Amino acid sequence: MAVNNSLFDLTGRSAVVTGAAGGIGSAVAEALATAGAAVLVTDIDGDAAAAVAERISANGGKADSLALDVRDREAADAAMARAAGLTEGVLHILVNNAGVTDPAMFADTTVESFQRIHDIHVLGAFTCSQAALPFLSTDGRGRIINVTSSAGITGTLGQVNYSAAKAGIIGITKSLARELARKKILVNALAPLAATPMTETIRTDEKFAANVLNRIPLRRWASPEEVAGAFVFLATDAASFVTGQVLPVDGGMVM
């Protein structure tokens, strides 16, 4: 039986990716563009976001960029309108990827650190999703794809702030999936693990790196490009009956 390649075609659709200046975010933006989407690359570092958009355009894709602090509602409103403008006023895909870490043992975690991590991950996903809602397609092609982590599923030593935030993302995903199903908007989350600047501290520490690798059945780290395909899948018609799910893309660490 032949594979229907049109299931994975995003031609004519628009996407916005937050935190897309590097790491998983930039890989996802590039993968969506390769699949045919017009992509708005956003990041708090506007210059770095612009460089990613320029790279996509140089490779034959369609992309624009914008500086965006995901905690800023007015900025989020402007970003979603601009992304929708790439495809005649309709937005098809929002990827809530923006995030940071600030590891510390619980006794040393400050209120300021806990609040900042919560605001960027949880408030950021809330703000951008709510800003996107008036523009999101309601013909079955609308997608919100959130980024969580194994930390939000199983917890992580020395990352109570990050684990709590990523667990919050899972709650947002499941609640929104139920609510937005009536609008034919699908909401899912991915829990990826890849070699990025965010994981560099762990990967370069011999003890921490060995501990993580021992928990990964495939015994290696993925590249950002390697996990980006799962985002494309959830964005396409191939995932038209998938909503409210959390998909680990971590070499089998969470199963």
Catalytic residues: 162
Beta partners for residue 95, in sequence order: 17, 145
How is residue 171 written in tokens?
A: 């709650």
**Do residues 69 and 98 touch, judged by C-beta distance below 8 A?**
no
How far is the C-alpha of 219 from the C-alpha of 17, rounded, in Å?
29
Sheet holding 93-96, edge to edge: 62-67, 38-43, 14-17, 93-96, 142-147, 185-192, 246-249
Pairwise CA distance, residues 115 & 156, whole Å:
18
Of how many residues is the chain composed? 255
Angle between helix 46-58 and 23-34 (nearest 10): 30
First to last CA, the chain: 30
Torsions phi, psi of 122, nearest 5? -80, -55
Q: How far apart are CA 235 and CA 11, in angstroms?
A: 12
